[in-house]
Amino acid sequence: MTGLDLKDKRILVTGGAGFLGRQVVRELCEAGADEQKITVVRSREYDLRSMEACQKVVQNQDVIVHLAAHVGGIGLNREKPGELFYDNLMMGVQLIHAAYQAGVEKFVCVGTICAYPKFTPVPFKEDDLWNGYPEETNAPYGVAKKALLVQLQSYRQQYGFNGVYLLPVNLYGPDDNFDPRSSHVIPALIRKVHEAQVRGDKQLPVWGDGSPSREFLYVDDAARGIVMATQFYDEADAVNLGTNYEITIRDLVELICELMGFEGEIVWETDQPNGQPRRCLDTERAKEKFGFTAQMEFKQGLKNTIDWYRQHAE
């Protein structure tokens, strides 16, 4: 498979200092990119909600991988829907436009599984993306990110701009965000179980009723998929990145408790929201178009994440 030779490319990675971004930078180097030619944008240096900042960072770049996002779990989405909509829309729209104006060769945009409709036939196929409104708790974030797909497709049509759009499922792995105010389900549960064990609690309260299902992609696999798409995918259609393995929240909680040795009672807080009923991706397009399949077995990935957290927990 011949694709984009990264060796001499100047590559900008927004969000490159984050959980996923660090792995993407590592994978880019493994795929032949020169580390000296990779620029990582940090929010404290450049506020990408500003057009001026976007215009500065895209200058003299050949490839842009846009990972930067303002993101969190159900709690943050309920608390700050306006902020999540505005920040993600403005960062993406202006960066894409500035990249087009600057003559950037390729733009890789990482979207979100939250863009899918609340009720989507399982497994989610990319062609179902527009068949309904996203789940209410994270719709503002999902719609903002989905607008970037429309922008890339319209810029491709009108200007011949090579922008691709990827839809990774929920990520997890070592070095994830374990902050309870903004973390996603796996790091949130690992921290919750660990702290319950430290306190000697006999009960573990968990939001919802445990019935929703989720799919999780190990961060190393996600980074490899993003880099493979950077090298080998040049089409307008969105592409899922996932494992095609679905687990209920109830089974997930029980598995984490088992791996961590927590023997107390799980108490389901059924007055709290469940989120989207089911999430599982059809992963055929990524396999067919650029040869990506996930490699990490889920239980092993969880063990790696738990081990990392226990080593780094205060």
pLDDT digits (tens, 9 = 90+) for 190-205: 999 999 999 999 999 9
What is the per-residue pLDDT for 180?
81
264, 267, 272, 276: CA torsion to nearest 10: 80
Instruction: List the alpha helices (DSSP H) in 74-170.
Output: 74-79, 81-101, 139-159
What is the per-residue pLDDT for 184?
84
The β-bridge relationship of strands 11-14 and 38-41 is: parallel
Looking at per-residue pLDDT, the higher value among 263 and 278 belongs to 263
Write out the two tokens for 211: 């019935």
Does residue 309 fall inside a structural domain?
Answer: no
Question: Residue 284: which pLDDT band, with cuts at 50, 70 and 90?
Answer: very high
pLDDT at 91 over 90: yes
pLDDT at 210 over 80: yes
What is the per-residue pLDDT for 272?
87
Rg of the chain's alpha carbons, rounded to an integer?
19
What is the per-residue pLDDT for 215?
95
pLDDT at 181 over 80: no
Write out the two tokens for 35: 């580390």
pLDDT digits (tens, 9 = 90+) for 30-80: 999 999 999 999 888 999 999 999 999 999 999 999 999 987 677 777 889
40 with 27: CB under 8 angstroms? no
Question: Residue 167: which pLDDT band, with cuts at 50, 70 and 90?
Answer: very high
pLDDT digits (tens, 9 = 90+) for 256-265: 999 999 999 9
Q: Where are the beta strands (DSSP E) in 136-224?
A: 163-168, 170-172, 203-207, 213-214, 216-218
Residue 179: count of CB within 10 angstroms of its CB: 13
Residue 225: count of CB within 10 angstroms of its CB: 28
Instruction: Average the pLDDT over 78-96 and give the result.
Output: 95
Instruction: Average the pLDDT over 278-303 and give the result.
Output: 96
Does residue 196 fall inside a structural domain?
Answer: no
What is the per-residue pLDDT for 314?
64
Domain with 118 in it: 11-173+215-244+279-296
The residues annotated as belonging to the active site are: 141
Residue entry with tokens 């939250």: 114
193 with 204: CB under 8 angstroms? yes
Does residue 308 fall inside a structural domain?
Answer: no
Of 222, 227, 219, nearest in space to 241 by CA: 222
pLDDT at 107 over 70: yes
Does residue 306 fall inside a structural domain?
Answer: no
Write out the two tokens for 314: 């205060």
Residue entry with tokens 């057009």: 51
pLDDT at 310 over 80: yes
Give φ, ψ of 252 to 5 degrees.
Answer: -65, -50
Number of domains in the chain: 1
Does residue 268 fall inside a structural domain?
Answer: no
pLDDT at 206 over 80: yes
Does residue 5 fall inside a structural domain?
Answer: no
Distance separating alpha carbons of residues 4 and 303, to the nearest angstrom: 35
**CA angle at 177 for the pair 171 and 179, rounded to the nearest 5°:** 135
Write out the two tokens for 289: 């178009």
Instruction: Average the pLDDT over 291-300 and give the result.
Output: 98
Does residue 6 fall inside a structural domain?
Answer: no
Write out the two tokens for 170: 């929920």
Looking at per-residue pLDDT, the higher value among 180 and 126 belongs to 126
Distance separating alpha carbons of residues 103 and 87, to the nearest angstrom: 24
pTM greater than the 0.85 cutoff: yes
Percentage of the chain beyond pLDDT 70 is 99
pLDDT at 152 over 90: yes
Write out the two tokens for 253: 């909680």
Distance separating alpha carbons of residues 42 and 119, to the nearest angstrom: 36
What's the CATH code of the domain at 163? 3.40.50.720
DSSP code at position 281: B
Does residue 301 fall inside a structural domain?
Answer: no
Report DSSP letters for 90-110, one per residue: HHHHHHHHHHHHTT-SEEEEE
